[in-house]
Each structure stands twice: as C-alpha cells, then as structure tokens.
Structure 1
Amino acid sequence: MLRLGTENDFDALYPIYMHPTVNPYLNFETMSKEEFLPLFHELITSGTLYVYENDDGQVVATGILCRLERRCSHVVCLTTFATNPNFQRKGFGTRFMRELIEELRKDKRTKRLELYVVVGNEIGLNFYKKLGFQVEGCLRKQFTMIKDGPPVDDLILAMVFD
C-alpha cells in the first residue's frame, strides 16, 4: 500500500538506506542513526516522502518526490528511491512506482517525472525502462558512488504525461 511517509518511518527506512547494495546509488554515505537523523529531516523536507508497505505493514519501498519551482513547476524529480533488499525482485518496487506514477497522473500540474540512473546500473535502467521511462541524455561526471571516489556518469530518464 502506497502512503505518505513521516518522521515515524525513520527506523524502518534507515536500514534500507544504509544497506550496502542500496547506499552506493543514493546521494549520501553510510552513517550511524545519530548522524543520519538530521539528514533524514533534510530529505523529507526537500520533497514528499512516500513509502510502500506490504500486507504485514513492513516498509518495502520508498522514494521522495521533489517538485521543481516556478517555470519548471510541472516537473517532478524522483530521488532517494530504494527497495528493501529483503523484498527486491518480488514486484514491490514495481507496484510502488506504478502507484506513484498514477498519483502523479491525477495531478494536472505534473507533466514530467524525471530521475537519474548511474551508467552501468543495468538492473535499475531496465527497471525504469519497463515502467515507461525513456533515456534523455547522459550527465558526465555527475555522481560519486563513494566518498572521494571518481565521478561517474548519470543517465537522465523521464516520463512525460499528456
């Protein structure tokens, strides 16, 4: 079930964000809960936090939608998308994304949803393509997967709504 996330989701989201197979694709390093708490507050105030729960009430996927401003206010960017590694490849990420996309389609202000995928992340790239996203370009040396690591390229993907 898709729902708006709150600060109360911190304990469920922290292990997802810090998991070694998830964290390299997010825009922050692994850190202790105490260190992460202020960053979590920053993240959830930068956009709208969504979580997806399974039938048992466990958080299995999450993402933050950030609406751009002024002349770009029709654009929403998906950031900090992650699926709980214990529930990957079971359809939860797909259901989360489909329901999120449906919510955005209902909002007549939204004409475009965009996101970034690290070049070489074929699993992520194929996942988004199956949902209908199209690659629009490559941002060279856009992202570092580890602190002080070499910059890598990001693909920008988008879905445009009529």
Structure 2
Amino acid sequence: MRQRHAIAAALAAALLTAPLSGVAAPAAPAASAEPAAPRTEGYGTSPQTLHGSADDLALRGVRVVERRGGDRIVIRFRGNGRPGAVVHYVRRAVADGSGEVLDVAGGAILQVDVAGTPLTRHQRPVHVRTGGDLVDVEAAGPFEGYTQVFLGLEERTAFRAKARSGPSRIVIDLKN
C-alpha cells in the first residue's frame, strides 16, 4: 500500500514538472537598447503628504529637469533633514497670512506647503530655472513655520512627490 502511494506521488510530480510535448517554453523578452521609461506607480492628481524630519529649512531654489516620460521639479532647501510637505492642486495661489492672491502663470497650479521653515531662518529670493512643463514659480512665507511654493504648470497632470535629504529637497515627477 505504501509503495502504491509513493509511486502515485512520484508519477504526479513527474507529470506536473514535465514539459508538454509540442509546446515550447516562453521566450525571454528581448533586450532593448533604449533606456527604460520612468516607473509609473505612485502617480496621481490627489494630494500627497510627505513626512519629514527637518525643522530649520530655508527655501534655496527650484529647478526643472526635462526627461522622457515627464519632467522632474526639484525644490531645494538650506538646512539638514528631509522636508515634510503637502503637495496638491489649487485653483488660485493664495498666500497664507496675508490672503494675497499671487499671479502664477500656467494652466494649472500645483501648491507645495513645506513644513519646518521657521521665520527665524533668513529666506532669500528663490532662484528658479523653468522649462518643459514648468511655466512659473512663486513662493510665499515663511508663515507660522510653513513656506508655500506655487508651481505654474502647462496643464494639470499626474505627479509623484518624494522628500529627500543630503541635500534637503522635494522631488516632484510629472507624468506625460
């Protein structure tokens, strides 16, 4: 009886692992000489929250890197640590505290509310290098520990935001 069960188990294992006759194994995908497109997970148009560890940052500048698959916007800070922020689309650029409506060019405005930027930190005018989908940049603050950065984009598009340290920066990838 034991021998019969052992033979049946061995026969089942052999049938399950043996290739079917006349059916070729799937070929491995061909290697491409073209670099891979940026990964697409994490993109959307809903607000994104970035959890940070910095509490003494000052806005340093904004630049854009034009890439295949979508532009990358980098918001740089003086100071140490990973900035915390909320990144979201708004209809109008309104400065916290004063309520002033800022004139931001473009078809859509992406607002970045950056935490950890106290008033005691000297903030210089923002150095901006626009291009690609980034049309305009305006900054407001700091106000109550927050700095607002308004990014004027060609149009509303899906984005993915990440906070980085060393140097402190927020990276926003736009999806074409």
Fold equivalence (TM over 0.5)? no
Greater C-alpha radius of gyration: 2
Structure (1 or 2) with the greater helix fraction: 1
TM-score after normalising by structure 2? 0.22
Structure (1 or 2) with the greater strand fraction: 2
